[in-house]
């Protein structure tokens, strides 16, 4: 643990979008959870308010001492031993009962023995089935034959985010029986991609990594802003953010870049299930920024961003809905 390198500069506090939101006033902040809690465990018991973090990594990026603040946050969560808000407990129960955080509303499974698996994730199967269909159609049009397996369960990333280590290990065991049969896994969710790479050791590619060099054209009429997913740019790596911009620009999307595009929308880290009012408040701040920019809508590459911003009435497209093959 590198928390003893803290110079108390406050950069992490200024970067934190939760502390910047009026509904986040109870959150102790990244320094208390990432630096003070590991060093002074007797002061660490902030209760469930310590879970009011979206895992956006903005604090880590701002920290001049390169302190791994989100790792410390994950450790703190795993030590809470089920003390979380009721929404987190419900999510854990859903996974134990069905294998997914939300029930699947998608049944167009493709189980043909292809060597590539498209993995839509729990939100893609349960809440954003149009995105899942668009992604699968786009892959097919690009001659990327793929399965969509009914036996692939939650990747476990949301479980780790709420400290449910045992449940995450269980879904990983079940998933490995299915996923290890494939040469490559293609995913729409940057959180799933990160999880499948780091926790499973699989070759998992996010859609932007698949689409980056392919001939595509825009399906998005009008002027569009970006919602840059935290777990893409600050999770998978900054080059994936450049890929996303490059794909859209080459496809001919009229992009309007605004400084707020990088700010977390509040959709990650289990915030919408655990602290829905805070997640909604953060999304509304973003919607106001996009409205000021006068755009027709927003393009992103993360189901959690899509869902959280759509709930506040914003027109949001996933990358797979924004482009098609340029024939």
Residues that bind ligand SF4 (CB under 6 A): 6-12, 15-18, 30-31, 35, 53-59, 62-65, 67, 69-70
Angle in degrees, 0-180, between the axes of helices 303-310 and 276-293, rounded to the nearest 10? 80
Cβ-contact 268, 54 below 8 angstroms? yes
> Measured between alpha carbons, how far is residue 246 from residues 141, 255, 315 in Å?
20, 11, 21
Nearest distance from residue 59's CB to ligand SF4, in Å?
Answer: 3
Give the residue with the Cβ less far from ligand SF4, 21 or 147: 21
Q: How many residues does the chain have?
A: 327
Contacts of 296 (CB under 8 A, 6+ apart): 220, 221, 222, 223, 224, 315
Please calculate the CA angle 279-282-284 and round it to the nearest 5 degrees.
110
**Helix, strand, coil percentages, rounded to 5, for the chain:** 50, 10, 40
Residue 4 contacts residue 41 (beta carbons within 8 Å): no
33 or 175: whose CB is closer to ligand SF4? 33
Nearest to 228 by CA among 243, 213, 217: 243
Q: Least CB distance from residue 227 to ligand SF4, whole Å? A: 16
Q: In the complex with ligand SF4, which residue's Cβ is closer, 40 or 183?
A: 40
Helix and strand counts by DSSP (H, E) for the chain: 18, 9
Cβ closest to ligand SF4, residue 1 vs residue 96? 1
Asked whether 188 and 115 are in contact (CB, 8 A), the reply is no
CB of 105 to ligand SF4, least distance (A): 29
User: Based on CB atoms, which residue is closest to ligand SF4, 54 or 101?
Assistant: 54
Angle at 218 between CA 213 and CA 222, to 5 degrees: 145
Helix (H) or strand (E) holding 187: strand 184-187
Considering the complex, what minimum distance in angstroms separates the CB of residue 157 from ligand SF4?
14
| Residue nearer to ligand SF4 on the CB measure, 20 or 246 | 20
Task: State in angstroms the smallest separation of the CB of 228 from ligand SF4.
Answer: 14
Please report, for residues 110, 232, 263, the alpha-carbon distance to residue 59 in angstroms, rounded to integers and kept in the order given: 41, 16, 12
Rounded least distance, CB 83 to ligand SF4, Å: 18
- Between 88 and 205, CB nearer to ligand SF4: 88
Minimum distance from CB of 34 to ligand SF4 (Å)? Answer: 6
For residues 144 and 236, give the distance between their C-alpha atoms in angstroms, rounded to a whole number.
Answer: 22
CB of 124 to ligand SF4, least distance (A): 24
Which of residues 3 and 320 has its CB atom nearest to ligand SF4 in the complex?
3
């Amino acid at each position: 643990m590198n928390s003893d390198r803290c110079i108390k500069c406050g950069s992490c506090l200024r970067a934190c979008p939760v502390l910047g939101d009026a509904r986040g006033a109870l959150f102790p902040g990244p320094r208390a959870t990432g630096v003070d809690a590991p060093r002074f465990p007797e002061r660490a018991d902030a209760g469930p308010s310590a879970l009011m973090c979206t895992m956006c990594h903005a604090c880590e990026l701002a920290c001049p001492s390169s302190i791994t603040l989100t790792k410390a946050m994950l450790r703190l969560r795993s030590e809470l031993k089920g003390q979380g808000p009721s929404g987190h407990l419900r999510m854990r129960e859903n996974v134990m009962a069905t294998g997914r955080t939300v029930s699947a509303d998608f049944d167009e499974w493709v189980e043909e023995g292809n060597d590539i698996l498209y993995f839509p994730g729990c939100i893609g199967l349960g809440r954003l089935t149009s995105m899942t269909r668009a992604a699968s159609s786009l892959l097919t049009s690009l001659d990327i034959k793929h399965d969509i397996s009914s036996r692939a369960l939650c990747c476990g990333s949301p479980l780790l985010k709420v400290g449910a280590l045992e449940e995450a290990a269980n879904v990983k065991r079940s998933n490995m029986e299915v996923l290890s049969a494939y040469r490559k896994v293609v995913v729409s969710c940057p959180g799933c991609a990160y999880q499948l790479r780091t926790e499973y050791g699989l070759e998992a590619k996010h859609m932007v990594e698949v689409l980056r060099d392919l001939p595509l054209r825009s399906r998005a009429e009008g002027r569009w802003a970006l919602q840059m997913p935290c777990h893409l740019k600050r999770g998978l790596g900054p080059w994936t953010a450049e890929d996303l911009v490059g794909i859209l620009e080459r496809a001919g999307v009229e992009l309007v870049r605004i400084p707020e595009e990088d700010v977390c929308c509040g959709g990650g880290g289990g915030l919408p299930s655990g602290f829905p009012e805070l997640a909604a408040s953060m999304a509304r701040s973003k919607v106001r920024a996009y409205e000021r920019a006068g755009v027709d809508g927003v393009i992103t590459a993360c189901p959690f961003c899509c869902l959280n911003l759509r709930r506040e009435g914003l027109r949001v497209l996933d990358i797979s809905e924004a482009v098609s093959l340029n024939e």
